[in-house]
Amino acid sequence: MHSTRDIAGFTDQLVADCGLDTASVFFVDQSGEAPRVSYVHHFGVSGEAQHVYAERRVFVADPFACSANGETQFIRWGDPRIDALADECGDYRAFLAQHDIGVVGALSRRVTSRLSLIVGTHRYRKSRHAGDVPMVLLDERLRRLSDMVVGHLMEDLMAHSAGQIALRAALPCVGSVGDADVALSRRESQIAALICEGKQNKQVAFQLAISEFTVENHLRRMYRKLGIHSRAALVAKYARQLH
């Protein structure tokens, strides 16, 4: 997925508003024989650091990438969930020291069972910024950024036939139900994916720029198509395939 102006602009503004020096937005893909990094956007990260992190496979030792699970979570550097992993990640610590990176924290989001979104936030060890980072604001902005990135990923998938095929292979509610093939529309697929990420109807409406009433109508049609009666059943259909 290529960086878009709104992702880049939002990331850059996040860095400024939260008193950071750098930020990195990227996916860790574990679907192939070897994990790989796919960059989305950087602010203030040198080309050398980007190259070393990806090509010399430092990301494999990154405790934030290793800790990605089914939840969308922001974890601060020094959090007990990271400390145990970080103590064993000599290559990652050496990389930070070499490039004068002081990690503030990172948001991790499991998009599928083999694809994770990571947004790392940093200050230089000798940062020009004074005072503490506003963690509550940073957490809120990172979650909004992750929604934006995943939304663009979904749009990219649905814009191309190859992506639609991949999506149908990953998500059973655009595949078969019982003995009949059940095809969801592009909009229905977007709504289904967001619902399965835990979004409420109001949040789905906001992200897709439609009314909450329209979301509810789409859900009713989807339930009829799929032979189910609740959003819990919809989530269950996704979960069986994604994990």
For residue 182, the model assigns a pLDDT of 62
37, exposed or middle or buried, with CB in 10 Å at 0-12, 13-18, 19+? buried
Q: Architecture of domain 5-135 in CATH? A: 2-Layer Sandwich (3.30)
Cβ proximity of 150 and 109 under 8 Å: yes
Report which of 156, 169, 187, 173 is spatially closest to residue 225, judged by C-alpha positions. 173
In this prediction, residue 153 carries a pLDDT of: 82
Q: What percent of the chain has pLDDT over 90?
A: 46
Q: Where are the domains of the chain?
A: 5-135, 160-242
Mean pLDDT (the chain, rounded): 83
pLDDT at 37 (0 to 100): 93
- CATH ID of 160-242, from 3.90.470.10, 3.40.50.150, 1.10.10.10, 1.20.58.1610: 1.10.10.10
Q: Which two tokens stand for residue 40?
A: 């989305």
Count other Cβ atoms within 10 Å, centred on residue 120: 24
